[in-house]
């Protein structure tokens, strides 16, 4: 059994004029802004496993985080949606934003299938009347999806998105998170491995930006 981890750093975002921006002096890692969405991306490197012609069988997945988000100069109703996603295929920024709306439930606009979604967690945090003076948001929704489907892919993609909805807040802090996969590596019969490898190759023929 192997425990695989990838981390997404602290995000400090500020609202100015009509849009949100990632603050370079307060954020850590690969955070970047896409309109009013902030995106962090990395990947688990499985190249050694694929070279040995073995398949990764997932036993579990989880996301660890330190603290709820905090708002600066906020008012009740300020909120942020946070999507944590581990995928067998690379996704463009537009596809990631699309997933936050449609998930993998076969809607016309969905861009990721159930079998391609290793694990996803979608949470919504809101600044309540009681918590307003403390600036700490409270969680109002926590939903999880994913298939934990075995893969022969040489990468598992790890994404974190934050989508603020502003009433008054001028800044937002989202604390670091750790994506965790528990998996075992095993050999399969040749015909099964070849079909899985072909499936992984077909899935990889999309945009892949490091």
Tens of pLDDT, residues 11-61? 999 999 899 999 999 999 999 999 999 999 999 988 766 556 678 889 999
Closest by CA to 20, choosing from 119, 190, 160, 161, is: 161
What backbone phi and psi angles, to 5 degrees, belong to 90?
-75, 145
SS3 15: strand
Give the chain's mean pLDDT. Answer: 86
Q: Dump pLDDT digits (tens) for 134-174.
A: 789 999 999 999 999 988 788 899 999 999 999 999 999 99
% pLDDT > 90, the chain: 61
Describe the strand order of the beta sheet including 171-174 as a list of residue ranges.
19-22, 11-16, 171-174, 70-72
Report the pLDDT value the prediction gives residue 163, as an integer from 0 to 100. Answer: 97
Summarize the confidence of residues 182-210 as an average pLDDT: 59
Dist. CA 205–CA 125, nearest whole Å? 35
Q: What 3 state SS string does 137-202 have?
A: CEEEEEEEECCCCCECCCEEEEEEEEEEECCCCCEEEECCEEEEEEEEEECCCHHHHHHHHHHHHH
Confidence check: pLDDT of 104 > 80? yes
Cβ-contact 39, 32 below 8 angstroms: yes
Judged against a pLDDT cut of 70, whether residue 190 lies above it is answered with no
């Amino acid at each position: 059994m192997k425990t695989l981890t990838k981390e997404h750093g602290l995000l400090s975002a500020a609202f100015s004029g009509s849009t949100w921006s990632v603050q370079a002096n307060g954020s850590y890692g690969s955070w970047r802004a896409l309109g009013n969405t902030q995106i962090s991306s990395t990947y688990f490197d499985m190249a050694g496993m694929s070279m040995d012609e073995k398949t990764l069988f997932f036993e579990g997945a989880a996301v660890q985080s330190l603290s709820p988000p905090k708002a600066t100069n906020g008012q009740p109703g300020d909120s942020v949606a946070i999507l944590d996603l581990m995928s067998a295929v690379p996704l463009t920024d537009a596809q990631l934003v699309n997933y936050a709306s449609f998930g993998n439930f076969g809607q016309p606009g969905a861009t990721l299938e159930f079998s391609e979604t290793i694990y996803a967690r979608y949470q919504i945090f809101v600044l309540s009347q009681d918590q307003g003076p403390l600036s700490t948001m409270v969680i109002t929704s926590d939903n999880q999806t994913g298939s934990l489907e075995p893969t022969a892919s040489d990468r598992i993609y790890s994404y974190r998105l934050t989508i603020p909805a502003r009433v008054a807040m001028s800044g937002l802090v989202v604390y670091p998170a750790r994506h965790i996969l528990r998996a075992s590596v095993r050999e399969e019969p040749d015909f099964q491995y070849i079909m899985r490898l072909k499936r992984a190759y077909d899935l990889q023929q999309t945009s892949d930006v490091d």
